[in-house]
Chains A and B, each alone.
Chain A
Amino acid sequence: MSEEKLSAEEVAQEEVFSDGKTANIAGGELASDSEQVGDFVREKGIAYGMPYNNTYNMDLYPDQVRWKEGDLTATRTTMWSGPGCHSGCQIIFYTDEDGKLVKTEGDPNSPLSAGRLCMRCLELPQMVNSERRLKWPVKRVGERGEGKWQRISWDEAYDMIIENVRRIQEEYGPECIVSMIGTGRNVSQAIAHNQYANFGGADLTLCFLSGDSCMLPRTALCYVIMGNQWVADFSQFRARRYEDDPEYVLPEVAVIWGTNPVVCNSDAFLGHWIVEAMKRGTKLITIDPQLTWIGARSEMWLRLRPGTDAALALGMMNVIINEDLYDHEFVENWTYGFEALAERVQEYTPERVAEITWVPADQIVAAARLYAQAKPATVQWGLAVDMAKIGVITAHAIACLVGITGNIDIPGGNVLVDQAASLEFGYNSGIWELEGTDMVAKRLGVDRYPLKKYGFTASSQADSILQAIETEEPHPVKMLWIESANPIANMGQDAPRLYRALKTIDFFVVEDLFITPTAVAFADLVIPCAMSNERDCIRVWFDPLRTLTKASDKPFYEAKSDEQIMIELGHRIAPEKWPDFVQTDREYMDWRLMRDGVLDTDGTQMTMDRVEEKYHGMWYHKFRYKKYEIGGLRPDGAPGFMTPTGRYELYCTLFAAFGDDPLPYYQEPPTSPVATPELAEKYPYIITTGKRSFEFFHSEWRQPETISRQLHPDPMFDIHPDTAAKHGIIDGDWVWIENQMGKMKQRARLNPSLDPRVISTEHGWWFPEQEPAEPSLFGVFDSNPNNLIPQCENGTNGYGAPIKCAMGTVYKVTPENDTPEDQPSYQVCTTGYTHGKTHASDKPSFYDGWTPDYEPEGFFDIEEYWKTHERK
């Protein structure tokens, strides 16, 4: 490899605000026309099935954006929020002569989703046409929490926003305005651009998700040690897939780590691709505290204690290194710090790791051998990695495991990816509007956390926002703009604490599909956003670039797309920032394609129309393997990785520079049988949460009219039959789940695959059929596991939180302990805590108290950054 190395300064300059946008030179190269969507998908039958599968009648699914089918108009497009998910499947919307959505079908032309559709997209007409949807802007007329609204016009809504934004900007400064987003929404570009251009502040977060514990810890780690991020390769980045791609190799072994991929389909990765690979012979190792369906079909299932994933990865490396099963060629030529890592893993013998993780030592050894001896092998990791206080460290341990086995950027391994067309459609969208201001430097949490300070993410730290609200330090938060997120139902921990804090916000706007508990409790203004079928938009999350095409020109009452709201507000509040020719969401897309210099193969300007017409709404870019060999990962074109050493850093030089441990390690969760044995006497069970269902996406789909809610009417938690029996609980019983912080209730589902010491709860529950007004708030706190989970207990780098490894106990719900006054929602609305006034303390939901005891080296200069990154 090249001896040329980048200084840490250069790396930081390239990576700052990266959020997926780095110097993946190959990212801008286009796939040739013959590599775009073609007939090979059609020949494959259904979802890359087996020879027994039927084939679609493709005459009925033409390669067009629109066609007529009887009286209905069919529109081929991509589905992506709202309602939300991470998948972006190709869908056909059927609308009647009034423009009403009456039916959906999966698009057989799609190389990604290949005709399939999940239950939520199939029942989408119920959601789109729901009478419960917010039809027009409303402003609060009673007290917060009374749920009394008055319909107002969009003009009045915009005036109200402008008046408050101007007042807060003048009295307190634009840094006192914060915007928040829900997970995986196709609104990153809108909410970011709106925040930067229209409000003038730089603070943007994944709502109140503690430690930003959804993908960002993994992403940040990847950028630090490899200058890019990896994804399990199931041939998804090329239009010809599996055996139709001559370069692709099926993984011999895939490790499914802390995710239930067919149910959650997270991080733009469709879990059913793994099933396609299983049919073709891929073997699996599943790492999960409970047996998932995919776990039951795995060669090995490792049932680990929640929160101990880092120890398991270190233990597996102990075996792989000591048994000399690692990839010498890759380690010697392309990694940095192997000797130090080899020394570190000696502390993690299989026997010690077995004690920590509860996975038997012989299974750790066997899994390590199975993974290391397979080539290629891949790791598909999930949220469990992020949801530990040591989330980044856990990601580091797993990334080292992948690194030493040489499965980096090879077919069927873990491949490095850029965003399609290198289009900046993430949280940096519109960041150029803050040039010349000190807003980015003032982002909350930036001064505490070097990874934030040096730009390894484009968002603020969620817990720091909460602390600023509570303490008004370093400055107060006067306005919250929450777009498609529902923090007291889902996206924020210690829900009662959020309730107490958010009541103090001066001006609170919610943009959403429905009146949510968050809207009732806090909002002064609620504005209706359009659903996916009502939007013209571009989806950029890896490759290909996809278009969302409006199924009809008729909106749902007065709902508008997120972009349309941003543009209309923009022309009123900051007209100098919005060109006259940008008046609609489609014009915004074309403006952004032009602004980012995105060209078609023939050199002409790319437009949304062109992606739809020429590329059938899916525009693939040239995806290359082993980019580190051909200089495809660095702006200087030299081989290697975009890191200070130019290598894949097992020993992380940037962590060393920040004063953190440069090598992965294991640390007990803040509360655990080991860390807090006295607490474990009272709260003996480990509570993991976030168990997904096909019916829901986080707090969505709870409307009782949906098939989802009818099939899954109540919140369920899983408990081992022996543990249940010990507490007199039978299947289906309502049960209180409680710990030192709070309580909530769900219904028991007996699950013998769990360790008897672990229970697994669902999240995101609220009950739209219940009373909106306080002290009910749609029952949002009654079944909420976030009542039991702390906020502000983050890793030293600001990322990660112990969300999936709290502790607690269980007892049956009885008429005596289930009076109206016993309901957590009643208690929180009247006292601020789930237990009532006597529960004065919510410890250990205290601030972690971490302050840097060193001064990070100031190698990053924002002024210098703008000199080289200024957009034309």
Chain B
Amino acid sequence: MEKGKYGLFIDYEFCSGCKACVTACKMEHGMEPQDFGIVLLQDGPRECTDGVWEYNYLPMPTHLCDLCADRVAAGKLPSCVHHCQDAVMVYGTVEELARKAAEAGKSDVAIYVR
């Protein structure tokens, strides 16, 4: 895979932190317990001075993420994207993902370039 060409788009407004991506990745690649292709970051629950509570999850791919090259070659989606329980993960070229982010017209979107 050419570096910098493909990536993952994550609408973390709706990521409920279910760890389906973490588990799907570990199972797909048969990883050892200490290895992860994607991990889940958490912020909160934390009350800001304006009274708003922050409580966000954000999946983050690691160096072991190959965007499921074998699955993609076989015509499937990366396993994390396929199984995401809240459908917040999108796979595509960086250009495509940037376009989708712009068209979505919303905040709380992250794009990881792989």
Contacts of B22 in A (CB 8 A): 119, 707, 711
Q: What is the CB-to-nearest-CB distance from B77 to chain A, in angstroms, rounded to a whole number? A: 6
B51-86 contact mask (Cβ, 8 Å, vs A): 1 or 0: 001110100000000000000001111010111111
The listed residue (B55, B84, B100, B103) touching A291 by CB distance below 8 A is: B55
Q: Please indicate the chain B residues that have their CB under 8 angstroms from the CB of A53 in the complex.
A: 87, 90
- Chain A residues within 8 Å of B91, by CB: 54
- Neighbour of A119 across the interface among B18, B44, B76, B90, CB < 8 A: B18
B83–A117 touching, CB < 8 Å: yes
Give Cα distance in the complex from A115 to B104, angstroms. 22
Interface residue SS majority, chain B:
mixed
State which of B53, B87, B88 has its C-beta within 8 Å of the C-beta of A753.
B53
The 0/1 profile, CB within 8 Å of A marked 1, for residues 17-40 of chain B is: 111101110110000010000000
B23: A residues at CB distance < 8 A: 119, 122-123, 707
State the interface size on chain A (CB cutoff 8 A). 50
Give the complex CA separation of A667 and B112 in angstroms.
53
Q: Which of B17, B79, B87, B100 contacts A48 (CB 8 A)?
A: B87
Q: Which residues of A contact B85 (CB under 8 A)?
A: 47, 116-118, 262, 272
Residues 1-58 of A at the B interface (beta carbon under 8 Å): 45-54, 56-57
Which of A48, A57, A60, A117 sits near B20, CB closer than 8 Å? A117
Q: With A46-B81, A47-B84, A52-B100 given, can you name 11 additional A-B contacts, CB distance below 8 Å?
A: A46-B84, A52-B9, A53-B90, A116-B84, A117-B85, A119-B18, A122-B23, A275-B14, A694-B19, A707-B22, A710-B33
A262 to B86, CA, bound (A): 9
Q: Which residues of B contact A297 (CB under 8 A)?
A: 13
A170 close to chain B: CB less than 8 A: no
Given A50-B104, A707-B23, are A752 and B47 neighbors across the interface (CB < 8 Å)? Answer: yes
Q: Which of A54, A103, A262 contacts B18 (CB 8 A)?
A: A262
CB atoms of B53 and A301 under 8 A apart: yes
Q: Is B46 an interface residue (CB 8 A)?
A: yes
CB distance from A388 to the nearest CB of B (A): 25
Contact with B along A422-433 (1 / 0, CB 8 A): 000000000000
Residues of A within 8 A of B46 (CB): 752
16 CB contacts below 8 A, A to B, read A46-B87, A47-B84, A47-B87, A50-B87, A53-B90, A54-B92, A59-B75, A104-B27, A106-B82, A116-B84, A117-B20, A122-B23, A262-B18, A293-B16, A752-B47, A753-B53
Return chain A residues, CB-CB under 8 Å to B82.
46, 56, 105-106, 108, 115
Cβ of B20 and Cβ of A116 under 8 Å apart? yes
Closest A-chain residue to B77, C-beta based?
A54
A711 and B19 contact, CB distance less than 8 A = yes
Nearest residue (CB) in A for B17 is: A293
Interface membership of B45, Cβ < 8 A: yes
**A residues less than 8 Å from B20 (CB atoms):** 116-119, 122
Q: Does A524 interact with chain B (Cβ within 8 Å)?
A: no
The answer to whether A105 and B18 touch across the interface, beta carbons within 8 angstroms, is no
A296-B88 Cα distance, complex, nearest whole Å:
17
Q: Which of B17, B47, B84 contacts A694 (CB 8 A)?
A: B17
**Residue A751, interface by CB 8 Å:** yes
Report B-chain residues with C-beta under 8 Å of the C-beta of A106: 82-83
Complex Cα gap A47–B16 (Å): 14
- The docked-state distance in angstroms from the alpha carbon of A695 to that of B18 is 9
Do B27 and A123 touch (CB < 8 A)? yes
- Which of A45, A47, A57, A707 is the one whose CB lies under 8 Å from B76? A57
Q: Which residues of B contact A45 (CB under 8 A)?
A: 87
Contact pattern, B 82-114, Cβ under 8 Å of A = 1, otherwise 0: 111111101110000000110110000000000
CA distance A297 to B101 in the complex (A): 21
Q: Name the residue on B nearest A754 (C-beta).
A: B45
CA distance A123 to B26 in the complex (A): 9
Q: Report Cα–Cα, A59/B26, bound state, in Å.
A: 25
